[in-house]
């Protein structure tokens, strides 16, 4: 069975030494987050993830969720108990506002904890994850009364939340939503329609489930401008805010799917269910979009989380499994064979995963910090810069971290040879679970289009120019430092390729937007390589400083420098291929008639 150890040390290093979280102590909640408190939070989260959630991961996969004839859904053995431990620990409210019962700590801490939970048990972690999404939506768009009614219950974990967007005929293209909302004299609405792929749509973990549902008010304009967002609880709140009558929403079936079996993916039927408008009528999609950055960041974290746990198990196996001899001569001549970690091709896979994981974790924390600044700073200019960064990086994090995270679970499985294909080792579950993150919350092709078609041109390219300026300034600042040259020189080259790609779009996509569409995925991955390379530079710089501090950290810091070099030598060079593909344009991609396929 797979094991897991939360990378607390790495997160602490990133927060303290790379991103200097204490420099944000002017923001609400940050001064309270002293290094001791942070370490205590992470220590407890790690214990919960390692000891409670990890052993339930395979149980969840094997048992799955079961729907009963009355529409009730049972989660796998142990999930309910674990969920109670989770809520008792206050984990749902780490970053939620204190006025509704949260701890008000920085969001960046919640994202770090989120990684631990997802690594240990992604299917389980989705339940609190969706509730956190609902909390964010209510915070941003609900009326004061709605907030007072729902937020305390959700933050305490007494109730849970869901997002109801997709319908059979539409996923990406939400303009095609058909679910209807009919206004009632009392100001409520009757909601009717079918929603599919509703994660955590029905389950036995909590006493009530608060569904946030996209629907079209009778007579609303067609397309995306006629969609509104509704709160539709499973049980209607009674006068005292407790559990009232059962609402006309039910789980019609649960999907048989490739992975995340421990999470109930439901078809939800709304048969004239009572709902209340949240935010403005016909502005539901815009409301969803404002929450999307955080939700997509959370999905990116899933990619990283599965890559990390898969890496840990592959590394352990590689040190244990004996086969063949090192090419440079037997390393353990007294054993019948050497452990496979002596083989360069096994190392190549391990180093690739590691070089991704550590930089991806840095990127997640860096961007989560931007999210904190965007929500909490009192300086409008600072907020805007943070929002720009958050918006620009969101599709990159979602698309690149889930594509590469999945690829890494496949590599980790590969290290097990044939044993990787056998269920009991758990490696194939990581592959199956990781696969969903490339598909939901906007398939990765949509992320690429969001980046190229929306985030690049937004505000006259302000966010992109700011990023280019930041990295350029960094390169300039460290260009003369010979110790940083192995990192800064390749970054400079990668940045140049990214800038060339951007310029190519400027020159070729206005006349033919297909030229942007055909290069979008390559651009997203090129962007990912450059920003991960930038993270490696920041890490290397901090590691050099810390290594010279003489507090016994030199060994681990030297490992980081080697891993940074590996990234620069072995991973960043793929940037050139992405650029070549982008510059090829759309012609051969689009030339064939549809009937030719």
Q: According to CB under 8 A, which residues from 327 to 386 bind its own copies? A: 327-328, 336-337, 339, 341-351, 354
By CB under 8 A, residue 586 contacts its own copies: yes
The token pair at 340 is 């496979």
By CB under 8 A, residue 209 contacts its own copies: no
Smallest gap from residue 416 Cβ to its own copies (A): 8
By CB under 8 A, residue 436 contacts its own copies: yes
Of 531, 561, 525, 494, residue with least CA distance to 362: 531
Smallest gap from residue 401 Cβ to its own copies (A): 16
Which DSSP category does 215 fall into? Answer: E
SS (H, E, C) 158-176: CEEEEEECCECCECCCHHH
Candidates 247, 404, 444, 502; binder of its own copies (CB under 8 A) is 444
3-state secondary structure of 456: coil
Smallest gap from residue 507 Cβ to its own copies (A): 17
By CB under 8 A, residue 514 contacts its own copies: yes
Q: Which stretch binds its own copies (CB under 8 A): 107-115, 118-126, 207-215, 422-430?
A: 422-430
Candidates 9, 173, 470, 481; binder of its own copies (CB under 8 A) is 173
Q: How far apart are CA 530 and CA 496, in angstroms?
A: 10
How far, in Å, are 28, 41, 51, 462, 520 from residue 36 at the CA level? Answer: 18, 9, 22, 38, 43
Q: How far apart are CA 96 and CA 103, in angstroms?
A: 6
Kindly tell me which of 388 and 428 has the beta carbon lying closer to its own copies. 428
Which DSSP category does 597 fall into? Answer: -
How do beta strands 249-254 and 180-183 pair? unpaired
By CB under 8 A, residue 445 contacts its own copies: yes
How do beta strands 235-237 and 243-246 pair? antiparallel
Of 267, 36, 16, 290, residue with least CA distance to 141: 290
Residue ranges in 446-465 that form contacts with its own copies under rule CB under 8 A: 448-449
Smallest gap from residue 449 Cβ to its own copies (A): 7
Q: Which residues are identified as catalytic?
A: 441
Candidates 8, 59, 281, 439; binder of its own copies (CB under 8 A) is 439
* Distance spanning both ends of the chain, measured CA to CA: 44
Residue ranges in 547-576 that form contacts with its own copies under rule CB under 8 A: 559, 562-563, 565-566, 569-570, 573-574, 576
Alpha-carbon radius of gyration of the chain: 24
Candidates 31, 37, 72, 323; binder of its own copies (CB under 8 A) is 323
Residue ranges in 100-119 that form contacts with its own copies under rule CB under 8 A: none
**Burial degree of 556 (CB within 10 A; 0-12, 13-18, 19+):** middle
Q: How far apart are CA 539 and CA 534, in angstroms?
A: 9
Of 303, 247, 237, residue with least CA distance to 271: 247
Residue ranges in 8-37 that form contacts with its own copies under rule CB under 8 A: none
Kindly tell me which of 89 and 252 has the beta carbon lying closer to its own copies. 252
Residue showing tokens 């990378």: 7
Candidates 181, 464, 520, 539; binder of its own copies (CB under 8 A) is 520
Smallest gap from residue 568 Cβ to its own copies (A): 8
Candidates 197, 276, 467, 504; binder of its own copies (CB under 8 A) is 197
By CB under 8 A, residue 264 contacts its own copies: no
By CB under 8 A, residue 410 contacts its own copies: yes
By CB under 8 A, residue 438 contacts its own copies: yes
Q: Quick check: 57 and 426 in contact, CB under 8 A? A: yes
The token pair at 447 is 């992320």
Candidates 136, 181, 214, 318; binder of its own copies (CB under 8 A) is 318
Kindly tell me which of 275 and 420 has the beta carbon lying closer to its own copies. 420
């Amino acid at each position: 069975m797979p094991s897991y150890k939360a990378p607390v040390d790495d997160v602490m290093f990133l927060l303290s030494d790379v991103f200097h979280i204490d420099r944000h102590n002017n923001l609400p909640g940050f001064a309270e987050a002293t290094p001791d408190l942070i370490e205590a939070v992470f220590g407890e989260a790690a214990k919960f993830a390692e000891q409670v959630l990890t052993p339930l991961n395979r149980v969840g996969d094997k048992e799955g969720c079961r729907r009963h004839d009355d529409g009730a859904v049972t989660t796998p053995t142990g999930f309910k108990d674990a969920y109670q431990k989770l809520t008792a620990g206050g984990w749902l409210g780490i970053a939620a506002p204190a006025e509704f019962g949260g701890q008000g700590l920085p969001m960046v801490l919640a994202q770090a904890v989120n990684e631990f939970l997802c690594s240990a048990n992604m299917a389980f972690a989705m339940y609190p994850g969706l509730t956190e999404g609902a909390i964010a939506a209510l915070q941003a768009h609900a009326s004061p009364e709605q907030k007072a009614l729902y937020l305390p219950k959700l933050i305490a974990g007494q109730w849970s939340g869901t997002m109801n967007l997709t319908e059979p005929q539409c996923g990406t293209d939400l303009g095609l939503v058909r679910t209807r909302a009919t206004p009632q004299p009392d100001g409520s609405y009757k909601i009717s329609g079918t929603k599919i792929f509703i994660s955590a749509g029905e389950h036995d973990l909590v006493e009530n489930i608060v569904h946030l549902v996209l629907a079209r008010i009778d007579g609303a304009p067609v397309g995306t401008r006629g969609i509104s967002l509704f709160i539709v609880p499973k049980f209607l709140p009674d006068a005292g805010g407790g559990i009232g009558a059962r609402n006309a929403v039910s789980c019609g079936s649960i999907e048989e799917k490739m992975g995340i079996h421990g999470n109930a993916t439901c078809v939800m039927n709304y048969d004239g269910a009572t709902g209340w408008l949240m935010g403005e009528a016909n502005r539901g999609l815009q409301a969803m979009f404002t929450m999307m950055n955080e939700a997509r960041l959370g999905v990116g974290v899933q990619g990283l989380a599965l890559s990390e746990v898969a890496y840990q198990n592959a590394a352990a196996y590689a040190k244990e499994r004996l086969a063949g001899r090192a090419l440079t001569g037997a390393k353990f001549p007294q054993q019948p064979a050497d452990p496979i970690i002596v083989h360069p091709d096994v190392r190549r896979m391990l180093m690739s995963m590691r070089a991704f994981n550590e930089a991806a974790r840095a990127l997640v924390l860096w961007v989560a910090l931007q999210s904190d600044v965007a929500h909490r700073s009192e300086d409008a200019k600072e907020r805007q810069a943070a929002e720009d960064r958050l918006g620009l990086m969101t599709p990159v994090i979602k698309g690149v971290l889930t594509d590469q995270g999945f690829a890494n679970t496949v590599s980790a499985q590969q290290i097990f040879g044939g044993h990787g294909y056998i269920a009991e080792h758990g490696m194939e579950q990581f592959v199956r679970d990781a696969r969903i993150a490339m598909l939901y919350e906007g398939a990765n092709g949509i992320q690429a289009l969001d980046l190229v078609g929306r985030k690049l041109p937004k505000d006259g390219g302000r966010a992109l120019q700011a990023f280019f300026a930041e990295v350029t300034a960094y390169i300039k600042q460290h260009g003369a430092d010979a110790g940083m040259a192995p990192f800064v020189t390749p970054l400079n080259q990668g940045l140049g390729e990214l800038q060339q790609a951007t310029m190519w779009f400027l020159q070729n996509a206005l006349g033919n937007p297909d030229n942007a569409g055909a290069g979008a995925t390559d651009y997203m991955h090129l962007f990912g390589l450059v920003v991960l390379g930038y993270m490696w530079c920041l890490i290397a710089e901090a590691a050099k400083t810390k290594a010279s501090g003489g507090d016994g950290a030199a060994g681990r810091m030297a490992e980081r420098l080697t891993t940074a070099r590996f990234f620069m030598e072995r991973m960043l060079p793929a940037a050139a291929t992405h650029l070549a593909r982008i510059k090829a344009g759309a012609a051969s991609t689009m030339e064939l008639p549809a009937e030719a396929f």
